[in-house]
């Protein structure tokens, strides 16, 4: 009897396994965005940028459902040296450094090193008792008032701290005098000089893009007790095998470094002198900014985006918990923050922790296409990435052109992937 029962149990288990296998094999395949026709459309779009003289060199890499589904490159990384753009080209990612800094900061959040709504001054006392600009008197002297509340760590992750820019002449003069972003300043000196400038508005009142993420890098350094660039290497780049993402490019790799080109209003593409374009990355400066300065390759940055779309893990390497990635990619701007600088030009978006976050579908076909809940950012040399968690799709777009995307390459690239918004 016992043997009979065991036999029946084994048969039942086998039947269950076979049934599960049958159901799994017949499960609907996930929706696919990057079809053969879409690949051809992306190729035509990117090649068109070169043929039409929109940029000198361009490359793109797309992963979908954890697999590479598109790569191509067109044009030149260095026109004067006749060196083609390829997937090993090193580029300046400028503000695509910011999401990297956000992830670094949130690794410390997970360790309980801080809370988002704590005052920044708890850890960086330079920012205690901040003053806010009110105007100037009859003699041109600055009038200030005490900040209504302290700058919080959440403020520096969403650009609501109030740091001054060049839009108000009296503050612009102080910003220039402070020279806080001088490459010879380390992060501590940068923070000291920045904190001495009155805020442009009360913390939390407006969204204003600025040095908040550089302050995040300083906070990471303070909380970790390690130089910021070292913390990045140990916590992100080495575990993710982002072996070519760094501030300083070794001499042996300079021949992989793309040239930077300036597009004039008339459409002429002129090489920015290497002495200027390469200044940040050809020497080991004291300043390691959190908001810009890194160089990377397509594959390196794709590892970063794949970690994000996989909710904080790449393969067996976990950088963040899923709930932390969810927090970072959730809009942190309340409706009361109505003054948002140029953020609305990115579409119907909010802002999370160092990312723009799409909160509504595009208003019309003129807006950059995107999926609700995607998060993304870009860089001054017209680079771009986004994470589309709905379709498990990540895209990295590289070129090296200033000013920022004057010919709407980003819109064309998005339309090539998703189709023109609203088109039947």
**E-strand stretches of 342-414:** 349-351, 356-358, 375-378, 384-388, 393-399, 401-402
Q: Which of 365, 338, 381, 317 is nearest to 96 (CA)?
A: 381
> DSSP letter string over 233-293?
IIIIIHHHT-TT-BSS--GGGGGGBPP-EEE-TT--EEEPPHHHHTTTTSS--S---SSS-
> Is the same domain home to 265 and 329?
yes
> Is the same domain home to 57 and 101?
yes
Q: Which of 254, 320, 315 is nearest to 89 (CA)?
A: 254
Q: Which of 168, 203, 224 is the last residue of a domain?
A: 224
> Is the same domain home to 73 and 192?
no
> Is the same domain home to 158 and 242?
no
The answer to whether residue 246 sits within a structural domain is: yes
The answer to whether residue 20 sits within a structural domain is: no
Task: Label the pairing between strands 401-402 and 393-399.
Answer: unpaired
> Is the same domain home to 214 and 246?
no
> Is the same domain home to 300 and 401?
yes
Give the integer Cα–Cα distance in Å for 390 and 5.
Answer: 47
Residue 367 is predicted with a pLDDT of 95
Q: Which of 203, 224, 245 is the last residue of a domain?
A: 224
- The pair of three-digit structure tokens given for residue 158, joined into one six-digit string: 């969403």
> Is the same domain home to 238 and 328?
yes
The answer to whether residue 318 sits within a structural domain is: yes
pLDDT < 70 regions, the chain: 1-29, 424
Helix (H, G, I), strand (E, B) or coil at 59: strand
Mean pLDDT for all residues in the chain: 94
The answer to whether residue 23 sits within a structural domain is: no
Give the integer Cα–Cα distance in Å for 55 and 50.
Answer: 6
> Is the same domain home to 323 and 388?
yes
- Each residue's pLDDT tens digit, 301-318: 999 999 999 999 999 999
Residue 26 is predicted with a pLDDT of 59
Backbone angles phi, psi at 156, to 5 degrees: -80, -10
The answer to whether residue 371 sits within a structural domain is: yes
- Each residue's pLDDT tens digit, 12-57: 444 444 444 444 455 566 789 999 999 999 999 999 999 999 999 9
> Is the same domain home to 204 and 158?
yes
The reply to whether the predicted model has a pTM over 0.85 is yes
> Is the same domain home to 150 and 297?
no
- The pair of three-digit structure tokens given for residue 424, joined into one six-digit string: 């039947």
Residue 140 is predicted with a pLDDT of 86
The answer to whether residue 343 sits within a structural domain is: yes
Domain count, the chain: 2
Task: Label the pairing between strands 393-399 and 384-388.
Answer: antiparallel
CATH number of the domain at 389, please. 3.40.710.10
Q: Which of 167, 199, 224 is the last residue of a domain?
A: 224
**E-strand stretches of 125-229:** 131-136, 142-146
- Each residue's pLDDT tens digit, 251-292: 999 999 999 999 999 999 999 999 999 999 999 999 999 999
> Is the same domain home to 366 and 384?
yes
The answer to whether residue 45 sits within a structural domain is: yes
- The pair of three-digit structure tokens given for residue 85, joined into one six-digit string: 């753009």
> Is the same domain home to 249 and 388?
yes
Domain residues for the domain of 348 are 36-106+227-418
The answer to whether residue 332 sits within a structural domain is: yes
């Amino acid at each position: 009897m016992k043997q009979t029962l065991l036999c029946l149990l084994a048969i039942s288990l086998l039947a269950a396994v076979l049934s599960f296998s049958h159901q799994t094999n017949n499960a609907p395949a996930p929706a696919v965005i990057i079809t053969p026709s879409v690949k051809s459309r992306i190729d035509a779009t990117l090649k068109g940028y070169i043929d039409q003289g929109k940029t000198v060199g361009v490359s793109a890499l797309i992963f979908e459902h954890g697999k590479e589904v598109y790569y191509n490159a067109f044009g030149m990384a260095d026109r004067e040296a006749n060196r083609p753009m390829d997937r090993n080209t090193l580029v300046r990612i400028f503000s695509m450094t910011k999401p990297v800094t956000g992830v670094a900061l949130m690794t410390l959040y997970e360790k309980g090193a801080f809370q988002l709504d704590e005052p920044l001054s708890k850890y960086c006392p330079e920012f205690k008792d901040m003053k806010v600009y009110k105007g100037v008197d009859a003699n041109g002297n600055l009038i200030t008032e005490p900040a209504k509340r302290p700058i919080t760590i959440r403020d520096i992750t969403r650009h609501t701290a109030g740091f001054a820019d060049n839009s108000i002449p009296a503050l612009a003069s102080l910003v220039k005098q402070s020279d806080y972003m001088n490459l010879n300043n380390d992060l501590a000196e940068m923070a000291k000089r920045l904190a001495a400038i009155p805020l442009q508005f009360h913390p939390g009142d407006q969204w204003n893009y600025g040095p908040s993420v550089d302050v995040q890098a300083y906070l990471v350094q303070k909380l970790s007790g390690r130089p910021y660039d070292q913390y990045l290497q140990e916590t992100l780049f080495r575990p993710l095998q982002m072996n070519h993402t760094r501030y300083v490019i070794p001499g042996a790799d300079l021949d992989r470094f793309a040239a930077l080109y300036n597009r004039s209003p008339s459409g002429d593409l002129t090489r920015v002198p290497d002495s200027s374009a390469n200044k940040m990355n050809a020497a080991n400066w004291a300043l390691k900014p959190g908001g810009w300065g890194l160089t990377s390759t397509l594959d390196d940055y794709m590892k970063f985006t794949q970690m994000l779309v996989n909710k904080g893990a790449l393969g067996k390497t976990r950088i963040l918990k899923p709930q932390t990635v969810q927090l970072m990619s959730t809009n942190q701007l309340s409706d009361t923050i109505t003054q948002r600088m140029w953020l609305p030009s990115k579409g119907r978006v909010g802002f999370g922790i160092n990312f723009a976050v799409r909160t509504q579908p595009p208003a019309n076909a003129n807006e950059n296409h995107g999926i609700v809940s995607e998060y993304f950012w870009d860089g001054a040399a017209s680079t771009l990435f986004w994470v589309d968690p709905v379709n498990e799709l990540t895209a990295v777009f590289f070129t090296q052109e200033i000013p920022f995307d004057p010919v709407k390459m980003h819109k064309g690239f998005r339309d090539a992937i998703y189709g023109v918004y609203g088109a039947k």
